[in-house]
Amino acid sequence: MRVLSGTQPSHDHLHIGNYFGALRQQVALQQKYETLIFIADLHSMNSVRNADERQRYTRAVALDFLACGLDPAQAILFRQSDVPEVCELAWYLSTVTPMGLLERGHAYKDKLAQGQSANHGLFAYPVLMAADILLYRADLVPVGRDQKQHVEMARDIAQRFNHNYGETFVLPEPVIGEHTAVLRGLDGRKMSKSYNNTIPLFESEKRLRKLIMKIKTNSLEPGEPKETEDNTLFEIYKAFATEEETQAIAKRYAEGIAWGEMKQLLFEYINEQLKPAREEYERLIANPGIVEEELQKGAEKARQRSAPFLAEIRDRIGIRRLG
């Protein structure tokens, strides 16, 4: 089974909410499947308008994956734009894609409903995403619920192409993460850069402790039993901990652990958990050429799969030598 996953470059720094929301699951795929993970820099052109920002964000995403355990010897990590076959295939697919299908796209309709101007890139986004998926004959595509429709559209486009030109594409299946953690931030709201309430994944020990000590709690005194439900400190601990460790902390809550003690305990625990990723991140930052080298190696492996398949597709559609 082949799994394909993509991430748009849209940030400088990963926070622990991002990690538990998606990246940890993406990295874990390499243990079970043939895994391809691409940085969707072409897709990012719909939202990121600054060239230097796109380059910086692309590097940040690559750093995130490599520091968090993605092994280039097991999984293929590459930049979308380093595989030119994807844009060529997107054109071929666009010729069998009905306008009505694209007009029903959630992202496109949402932009229109918000009164924003929709460009062709946003309108045709599902076609390029279909090319991303179909080019590598991916069996499974892990996505959030908001992206499920795009995988379904890729299936529809593939079926239309197959009907016209013969069985060519694998029909991908979306995989929805049902148990991904949605973490609260320092103020109790969902952890998000827009709320300025995040805990960066690669933060220094000193800064990490300072942020954890700022997490909002209630006024219950030491010794008073405390609820674990809807509690930010407990939820963050649970995201990192084993089931046995989580149960032990829940018992401490029932016994009335002091908030200051819990914050110190949480800091010490997750600091130890994050240390290997932080050290690898710092190593990569100190050796910037490694990241580009790994992306180029990944692109070469990806093209070993994409170029021969695109040659087959060209032949099927009649784009071939005349004699």
What integer pLDDT is reported at residue 182 of this predicted model? 81
What pTM did the predictor assign? 0.89
pLDDT at residue 297, as a whole number = 98
Distance CA 252, CA 263 (A): 13
Active site residues: 111, 190, 193
Q: Which long-range contacts (CB under 8 A, 24 or more apart) does 285-293 make?
A: 285/63, 288/59, 290/66, 291/59, 291/62, 291/63, 291/66
3-state secondary structure string, 255-311?
A: CCCCHHHHHHHHHHHHHHHHHHHHHHHHHHHHCCHHHHHHHHHHHHHHHHHHHHHHH
Q: How far apart are CA 233 and CA 93, in angstroms?
A: 48
CATH topology of domain 202-283: Tyrosyl-Transfer RNA Synthetase (1.10.240)
For residue 111, the model assigns a pLDDT of 82
For the domain with range 2-181+288-317, which CATH number is right: 3.30.413.10, 3.40.50.720, 3.40.50.150, 3.40.50.620?
3.40.50.620
Model pLDDT, residue 304 = 98
CA-CA-CA-CA torsion sign (288, 294, 300, 306): negative
- pLDDT at res. 14: 86
CB 23, CB 65: distance < 8 Å: yes
3-state secondary structure 125-141: HHHHHHHHHHCCCCCEE
Structure tokens at 45: 């052109």
How do the residues of the chain divide into helix, strand and coil, expressed in percent and rounded to 5? 60, 10, 35
**Domain residue extents for the chain:** 2-181+288-317, 202-283
pLDDT tens over the chain, length 323 residues: 999 999 999 888 889 988 988 888 899 999 999 999 999 999 999 989 999 999 999 999 999 999 999 999 999 999 999 999 999 999 999 999 999 999 999 888 888 888 877 889 999 999 999 999 999 999 999 987 778 899 999 999 999 999 999 999 999 999 887 656 689 999 999 998 889 999 999 999 999 999 999 999 999 999 999 999 999 999 999 999 999 999 999 999 999 999 999 999 999 999 999 999 999 999 999 998 999 999 999 999 999 999 999 999 999 999 999 98
